[in-house]
Structure 1
Amino acid sequence: DRELEISCKSSTGYLLLVQANFFECGGVAIGLNISHKIIDAYTLCKFINSWAAISLGSANTDHVVPPVEFGAAASLFPPLDFLNSPQPSIDFVKENCITRRYVFDASKIAALKSKVASAAVPNPTRVEVVSALIWKCVMEASRSNSNFARPSVWCQFVNMRKILPQAPGENLLGNLVGYSVAKTEEREVEHDVKSLVSKLRKGLEEFKEKYGNGISREDVFQQCIELSKLVGKVDIDTYCSTSWCRFPFYEADFGWGKPSWMSIPSTVEIKNIISLVDVSDGIGIEVRLTLEDEDMAIIESNQEMLAYASLNPSVV
């Protein structure tokens, strides 16, 4: 279960590094380190599946690997004149953090969805219920360690390709990511998963309403400014979540079969990061949760969390 380490060269300016690991048992693990300046999770998945299709020697690679629209994003969002405008800088707080891997299997997610369905959200998604449960547990941990309840913000990164009317097709590559926001107030001391699901859904609907008719380069710039302000506030607990669920990473076949396990690397220096990705059955969810040491110590013994998630189960 020990994580593979990517080469130290990954921090010296390379846009892409690939590391192949071969095991005595015959297994193979491929690690990728790629710059977020040029790619998001959607683009990464496209890259991996196209690479795999080419490796297989597909008879029709033009169909498997469609033409890439490299310039489309720039046409949608022409560059700003940064020399005459303040440049956004999202400074994630670096703390003594620890990352844990939790897995929610299909049956537990189904039970959780059934439990938290409400008139406001009768059909909660897998990501919503898992995110809401984690949010509840991390808020409880923060309150226990600080002895008071701080306002809490959940930033959910969103694939803008599903939102924008002007997005020119599925082959738009690069970074096309926004984020929705859900908040709790200081006066809100107690929370249940059901109410947090409603907050997450409301935040996403407000995001779609705001940007569903289009987004400008100034909007993108302003989003970066607002996120940097949120992350920098010491009187608010801000959690940033990314979901790679439903991206077909498990379809990548390089010639030795589809992968048995795919995971997102840990971000051990940046606190309050939550990453979600499908497990191999496409129904369960694996979570990488990075928190400060003190908060994680409480999470690890949280019985509600452990009722639905397994801590670092075997990957085989």
Structure 2
Amino acid sequence: MVGKMKVEVVSRRAVKPCKPTPSHLAVHKISVLDELNPSIHVIRILYYESANSMDLGLLEESLAQVLPHFYPLAGRYNRDHHCVDCTDDGADFAVADVDCRLGEFFEVEAAVSENLDRLLPLDICAVDEPTDPLLAVQINRFQCGGIAVGVCASHRILDSATFGTFLTAWSNAACGGDSIISPDFILPSLFPSQNLPPLQFEVSRTRDPTIVSKMFRFNKKAISKLRERLTEKWESSTGSGRPPSRVVAVSTVLTQALLRSDKAKHGRHRISLIGQAINIRERTIPPVHKHSFGTWASLSYLKLDEKGTERVVGDFPEMAMKMREATAQGVKDCARILSDREFGRYVLVDSYFEAAQKTEDPDYKVVWVTDLSKFGDYEIDFGFGKPVWASMADVPLKDHFILLNTRDNEGIEAWVYLHESDMPVFEQDEELRILTG
């Protein structure tokens, strides 16, 4: 079956909001932070073992019920004016049949990324055109009664936190919840669109076949070993008895492995620039609400020259400390971005452009880390239980690590996206093999 799984879409329709969008909300301007996003969808696939009680009509009805609270998702993006025309065209809702059992699918999930892509309703790069839905869902029915819910939402108008808020709101509505989460839409008024040009690494609509993906699972035991290696230096440096987080430990291992493979490829260490994504919400002064709609995201940066890279690649605790310090400084900077707009512009926009330009510099190795482990994937219950797995699929962003939670909340699943020539060396890294083998 490997590589030959068939997914047949048997129906597709538009689900419109249960009530029309008011005329004063007919245009949703995006923010400058939304403009910085690559032209892709934010995605997730949620897998459920038994959904015999699934009511497709209820899923559609609850989606229609939630859309007025997330009204831009039912519109279409107007690229010329950097806004969403909130015309209530609706979200795509597809139903598909899969020619295997869910257990059979899990046997090959780590090896065949194309199978994951087939469970999504749209190609991940199908965004920004006037006919592209901003939200799409595909209900995939396996032969055993299990299902996979594949969801895409345009990164042009939201980030992963807003995406998670939407999934929670939809699942609550499907379970008959009385109250629906209602996000605010203040971001464009604080950081309005600036008609920015595409970034240096802007993603083309035609998927780059040279970027490949692989998932590496770090279980509880592996992470405990990593945290033990860090604890002594962590306590002496920070004065805190609290052990380093799972995310710090795993991010460090992955980054060191990639920098080692980069040296093997180029014969030398290059300047390293590591960008780590930060959720700005609730970290500003005054705090932004945790359900605020849009791209409330920043990046922290760790820059190491050639000698610095060589030193930390062989020193796990030192590398972890530096990555944690960079993130801590990034979080600290968030406090000022609303009160000092010039500073905010540099932190949120200018520094991002500087980092993007370095991706094409032969003297630099740029690494991106996105932690999505805190957005509650395994709490999304549409009425037939909680998911047994939550996955990504192919994401055309080179040198990118995306971290998801494991079902037991004790481990991390790292989705790694590299150039096809880099992955074989990376996955043979000795430490990585020991920890994930």
Contact residue 90 and residue 224 of structure 1 kept, 8 A:
no
| Cα offsets for 1:123-169 (capped at 9, x unmatched) | 31111110001111111111011111111111101101142123332
Instruction: Give the 3 Å change call, closer, same or farther, for CA 288–42 of structure 1 in structure 2.
Output: same
Q: TM-score, length-normalised on structure 2?
A: 0.65
When the two structures are superposed, what TM-score results if normalisation uses the length of structure 1? 0.88
Distance in 1, Cα, partners of 2:403 & 2:307: 29
Compared CA separation, residues 201 and 221, structure 1 to 2 (3 A): same
Alignment of 1:255 onto 2:383: yes
Residues 1:128 and 2:128 aligned together = no
- Corresponding residue number in structure 1 for 2:184: 69
The amino acid of 2:148's aligned partner reads: A
Instruction: Look up the match of 1:194.
Output: 317
1:103-130 per-position Cα deviation (integer Å, ceiling 9, x unaligned): 0011210110111221225531111110
Is the Cα–Cα contact under 8 Å of residues 240 and 272 in structure 1 kept in the other structure?
yes
Of the three residues 370, 373, 390, the one matched with 1:242 is 370
Structure 1 counterpart of 2:199: 89
2:249 & 2:282 partners in 1: Cα distance? 21
Question: Which amino acid letter does the alignment assign opposite residue 198 of structure 1?
Answer: M
Deviations 1:176-204 (A, max 9, x none): 00000112211232422211111111211
Structure 2: tracts of 5 or more residues without a match: 1-108
Summarize the alignment of residues 148-227 of structure 1 with structure 2, pairs less than 5 Å apart.
Answer: 148-188=268-308, 189-190=310-311, 191=313, 192-215=315-338, 216=341, 218-219=345-346, 220-227=348-355
In 2, Cα distance between the equivalents of 1:47 and 1:208?
A: 24
Residues 69 and 171 of structure 1 are in contact (CA less than 8 Å); yes or no, is this contact kept in structure 2? yes
Report deviation, 1:26: 0.9
1:92 Cα shift?
Answer: 5.1
1:300 matched residue in structure 2: 427
Give 1 or 2 for the bigger CA radius of gyration: 2
Whether contact under 8 Å (2:404, 2:412) holds in the other structure is yes
SS at match of 1:34: strand
Greater CA drift, 233-242 or 301-310: 301-310
In 2: Cα distance, 1:8 partner to 1:168 partner = 32
Larger RCO, structures 1/2 (Cα 8 Å, 6+ apart): 1
Matched, 1:18 2:146: no
* Offset of residue 75 of structure 1: 2.9
CA contact (8 A) 2:223 2:249 kept: yes
Instruction: Please tell me whether residue 49 in structure 1 is matched to residue 168 in structure 2.
Output: yes
One-letter amino acid of the structure 2 residue matched with residue 32 of structure 1:
V
2-structure distance, mates of 1:274, 1:38? 22
Identity %: 24
Distance 1:241 1:168 in 2: 23
The alignment's C-alpha RMSD in Å is: 2.1
User: Which consecutive residues of structure 1, in runs of 5 or more, have no partner in the other structure?
Assistant: 311-316
Q: 1:284 corresponds to which residue?
A: 411
Partner of 2:146: 27
Query: Whole-Å Cα distance in 1 between the matches of residues 384 and 418 of structure 2?
Result: 36
CA distance in 2, matches of 1:147, 1:212: 41
